[in-house]
Structure 1
């Protein structure tokens, strides 16, 4: 199964991101839009994993959350990766906040996943939330950025680490949590 380790979001954050994504849609000729249920931050893309690897990955995720409290993040800025012929490969929202804590979690995952056979990422972590792919805009990117700036700056808590399965169902990408752990037990009790 195709999988990744990431941070899933609560409904409030997904709704905020959906509102920002609507501004992008209104100002675009076309794009492949991420469903709000799929909004997340990827920490480690794993590719295809076997059922046998799930238990080892599960132990690593558990060890990464043991002494971690929720992270405070803020939606920071609209950005993009790869532009070719007026088509933006990925349009995303960046985050800021407790980046040292996020990088520490990422470091644990990278180190421990290498031990079980997953190569370390060569690039530095650039935490972002993908809103759309292969987007062609109706206006310059700087104007789009101005339109969403007032939606940014809101603070949220990230409180989980999740092993997600990624599959295509009826020609749509669907992410399903396989294993998920809260960063501390106090918050877990409050979410019941």
Structure 2
């Protein structure tokens, strides 16, 4: 697995390009098309995965016309609001689904109803659920601290360590967050 990343848009959204043996995924392409095309650099993108439907994670989703755009259905209203004339979401993904062999979907609601993470080998792409030293906001429409707490407990309970790739800010590891993240420590 090869992971490339760039920071896109006015809210500095982390966008990830993941090259697997079987496919290439683009996660959370924000609306900075020049930087997005620099990241893609002629690669054939098979899947665009939206970790949630907030505007800062979806703006470039349809700039890759041959890719299949996927997300959790509970966040479709956010996409409809931010981009009323958006092209179709090709498929909705659900908790426990294998998007591809070795690419597992984790439904982690709280920041938004349809927030998801992708677990690929020893990496977690968590969107705005977990950050280095912090957690996602729940004060936005349809956010829920109770649901986010349950989702974070689920992450903390994963066996082993994972590299954590958040939707904003620095990369971290799950072990590091288990030890130093004050929000995760409060969940114990």
| Higher RCO structure (Cα 8 Å, ≥6 apart) | 1
Structure ranking higher in helix proportion: 1
TM-score, L = length of structure 2 = 0.22
Larger radius of gyration: 1
Structure ranking higher in strand proportion: 1
